[in-house]
Amino acid sequence: MAQKSSAAVAAETSQEPVSASGTIPFETLKVQKVNLEDFPNRLPIGIFAFGERLQELEFHPYTTEHDILLTRKGNEDLKDTMGRFLPEIIKTIGGHSLNDIARELGQGSPKKLVERMYLADVLTTVLNIRLATVGEDVAIRDKCPNCSTKIEDNDENGYHDLGTVEMGIIPLLEEKPIFEINLEKGFRVANDTATTIHVEPFKLFQMSKLKGTPQKQIMRRMMYEMVCGIPDIPAFAGIKSGLFSDNEYAALGKNLDDRDRLNEAAETLLSVGPRMSINLICDACSFEYSSALPWQDVDNFLSQSARASARRMDL
């Protein structure tokens, strides 16, 4: 067994794994746009373990037991469902089993490891499983926002191609993606002024924290969740989540340039991973728009029978 790093040991006793590495200046982050089909079976961010960036996905064959797992009682949200399902279908990431990676990172179980994966990586995994189990055809049903012409994919009309889904990837990343943002004026907490913020891409388990959040607050709340360090504030030292809230946001006050910098950073980080939508061109008026993938019903989306049932029910 690999020697446990002190960070791994610390992570076992705290809520959040502690980063052993330094931070990366946010300005150096470059997100590249590709299509899913041009980046097959690879995570756009990846897992950092064994001194490597693990990105390559290898799956076990899909079986009926996976159907059972996906529809199990108690799968309340994406975190639960993926926490149970992904450890059973992923064979390796970057050539290592999830068991080995979880052990190396001190995360207790593959389920915990999956829950702490970046959402961008989890969604990419979902789409690659769908490609492997059902194929590239995806049934879209929508209406052109410009001329109201309906799109109804079926065997007669044809299907849309999942491989055309756009995704953002981070081509170059040598260490865990913890980025440092420097604010111009910053904000005050107690007697300290914070001008440095550390952010990390949004993780799967943080989805659960957004439950019940009004739509208009979602982007801001996701930004709060991505803040993983405020090194200028001694009172926050050692705390790894829940650092940023309406209090800190309000403390930015008139510093709207700083506010914009934080929001832009959050948007850039959220542009990594697949857009869970298909780009369409209306046959009638050539209007270009995008339509959401029917992935929210994730068990149906991933199941072997999805295509057959889509035919049967003419979804």
Residues that bind Zn ion (CB under 5 A): 144, 146-147, 149, 282, 284-285, 287
Q: Is the dihedral of CA 151, 154, 156, 158 positive or negative?
A: positive
Cα–Cα dist 216/221, whole Å: 10
Least distance (Å) between residue 145 CB and Zn ion: 8
- Give the nearer residue to Zn ion in terms of CB position, either 115 or 153: 153
- Nearer CB in complex with Zn ion: 138/282: 282
Q: How far is the CB of 280 from Zn ion (least distance, A)?
A: 9
**Sequence-separated contacts (24+) of 147-156 with Cβ below 8 Å:** 147/282, 147/284, 147/285, 147/287, 149/282, 149/283, 149/284, 149/285, 151/280, 151/282, 151/291, 154/311, 154/314, 155/311
Nearer to Zn ion, 255 or 290 (CB): 290
Residue whose tokens read 């059973």: 88
Q: Which is nearer to Zn ion, 151 or 298 (CB)?
A: 151
Q: Write the burial class of residue 16 (CB in 10 Å: 0-12 exposed, 13-18 middle, 19+ buried).
A: middle
What is the C-alpha separation between 118 and 176, in angstroms, rounded? 11
Min separation Cβ 296 and Zn ion, Å: 25
Quick count: other Cβ atoms within 10 Å of Cβ 119? 22
The tokens of 284 are what? Answer: 């009638």
Minimum Å distance from CB 164 to Zn ion?
19
Shortest reach from residue 158's CB to Zn ion, in Å: 17
Q: Which is nearer to Zn ion, 147 or 292 (CB)?
A: 147
Q: What's the closest the beta carbon of residue 36 comes to Zn ion, in angstroms?
A: 25
Determine the Cα–Cα distance for residues 109 and 77; give it in Å rounded to an integer. Answer: 19
Torsions phi, psi of 303, nearest 5?
Answer: -70, 150
Structure tokens at 178: 């913890």
Taking a C-beta distance cutoff of 8 angstroms, is the pair 68, 85 a contact? no
| Beta carbons within 8 Å of 93's beta carbon, 6+ residues apart | 43, 46, 47, 54, 55, 56, 57, 58, 101
Provide, rounded to whole angstroms, the least separation between the CB of residue 278 and Zn ion.
Answer: 15
Q: Which is nearer to Zn ion, 14 or 149 (CB)?
A: 149
